[in-house]
Chains A and B, each alone.
Chain A
């Protein structure tokens, strides 16, 4: 979550709760909203590392609130995050390891493993279908995120089919 908070703070200084709201508004239901505690813990670490700084802002009839802003080092860390290529597809897939290793020991049969995994993927797809249906049609960011997850899942299923053809 560190780079996300840095990116939001690059836009404008904010306090913890505002950051939580900004994440929720941007990504909608497609992204798990972090709890406020996690956000404060992360902000604390960023502050310790010198990437953000906090100032106390007095409020009339409430305790002071901390407003965070990005430091020059924070800006640099954010630039690095944006510039570096993002990790591609995972080559080491846990299910694949299971598929290769389990039959060797006689623990499980490949066909049964593949069939169970297919049903599991499709159940996840059903959840994504439902999520897409519940999502505000104007929230393009959320819908694209869901579509990306669907495409990954489709690829996993296609791969599963290849495994079933060639290994069984």
Chain B
């Protein structure tokens, strides 16, 4: 009998436990802080006004339905460019570019035009070590052509690797990829 009493007592105890648990509380919505949902590349032709040349938007941050926009570039033109990273999951959108600039010695943006695309890029900014970050750059187009242009943001790579400061992303740069997005580009 004693055992049965003890058992029933424990059942009651367990029921009390479960009754106390707060399963009615809905969990808090997480607005992901660190995610980059948006890459914007702005270009300003010499003497002209700034245009949003390339834009990648993935508002779910899961890659299911991204929006990509791209604007044709003019041949034989020198553009001043800047890259912007946004987290639109936050309201208002968080400007991740600020973080990337602050931690400039851990980050670098690489611009990789495909062989058929006739353009070159040059870095215009520096981190504390004098290595480029790549948020500000110069883009020079030559003859009319088309191809793809890839933007890669590397975190914690070796920024002193040979060629890295000229924008060559070799294997010795290593690190991990925070952004890798490709746009179809035409120079007209």
Partners in one complex: no
Listed in ascending order, the chain A residues whose CB lies under 8 Å from chain B are: none
